[in-house]
Amino acid sequence: MSRNLLSRALLLGATGAALLALPALAETLRIGVTPGPHAQILEAVRPIAAQKGHKIEIIEFSDYVVPNEALNAGEIEANSFQNQPYLDNQIRDRGYDIVAVAQTVNFPLGIYSAKHADWASLPEGATIAIQNDPTNGGRSLLLLRDHGAITLREGVGFTPTVADIVENPKKLKILEIDAAQTARSLPDVDAAAVNTNYATEAGLKPSDAILREDPKGPYVNLIAVRKADADAAWVKDLVNAYHSPEVRAFVEAEFEGSVLPAW
């Protein structure tokens, strides 16, 4: 072999060895979220996913409709912002070909009282304020049902109304008001069902609730992907990163019970 050919061979060999020594390029996963806790938690997921060679790009959406549109269209790889009842409604109404692959966190709805120390202290005929929209109001009625306060008509699903109450042994008076006003109504009612975001804004701690949803109930949030990607290796890596002890510790420390891990 000539000296020039030998030099070129040695150079190519050295270059190849150097390329083999370089780390694999990170696979970018675009994940849609709503601002706030979902985005914050994904920031904690990022370094864990990076260990598996995945770069997470967090895409924030200001509403609840666009993240599923973007996912279905292939503009993002996954989203993390919704619960199963909402996803089911979106799929039914819009025909999306997307599926849930893991549970994430829950924002448990609570019933609070400024007048009574616990649920058992509520008198007969007590007034309870609930949200006047179908999703949150129905959720509050289901919470009351699950604690034996009322009985609802069979087959009401996730959106019962006051008209679906068939038994009310304590003769509770259900007052329907705007969700944003429920915390403010506490001085005027015996108890009020308050969404977590409004509760924290009003200075209420989730531990103060006299009734609270099960953190593993139907309103647990989830990670969704396109059905075609459900069995992909990156999905498993993403779920494992989210469900890591480090992320659980972050959620518990950062949100102090207002957001609960569901894994």
| CB distance 241 to 45 below 8 Å | yes
Question: Is residue 7 assigned to a domain?
Answer: no
Q: Are residues 66 and 89 both part of a single domain?
A: yes
What does the pLDDT read at residue 10?
38
| CB distance 94 to 73 below 8 Å | no
Contacts with 245 (C-beta within 8 Å, 6 or more apart), sequence order: none
Structure tokens at 225: 């992907």
Q: Are residues 195 and 235 both part of a single domain?
A: no
- Provide the residue type at 183 as one letter: A
Q: Are residues 90 and 121 both part of a single domain?
A: no
Residue-wise pLDDT for 211-230, tens only, equals 998 877 788 999 999 999 99
If you average pLDDT over residues 120-141, what whole number do you get? 94
Beta-ladder partners of 59: 32
Q: Are residues 114 and 98 both part of a single domain?
A: no
Q: Are residues 90 and 133 both part of a single domain?
A: no
Domain, as residue range, for 171: 110-212
What does the pLDDT read at residue 11?
40
* pTM confidence score: 0.75
Residue appearing with tokens 């006003």: 181
Q: Are residues 198 and 240 both part of a single domain?
A: no
CA distance 189 to 176: 12
Q: Are residues 238 and 195 both part of a single domain?
A: no
CA distance 101 to 83: 12
Number of residues assigned to the chain: 263
Predicted confidence band of residue 19 (pLDDT cuts 50, 70, 90): very low
Residue appearing with tokens 């994940």: 31
Question: What CATH number does residue 71 fall under?
Answer: 3.40.190.10
Q: Are residues 145 and 238 both part of a single domain?
A: no
| CB distance 220 to 84 below 8 Å | yes
Q: Are residues 84 and 166 both part of a single domain?
A: no
Predicted confidence band of residue 26 (pLDDT cuts 50, 70, 90): low
Predicted confidence band of residue 17 (pLDDT cuts 50, 70, 90): very low
Question: Is residue 243 assigned to a domain?
Answer: yes
How many domains does the chain contain in total? Answer: 2
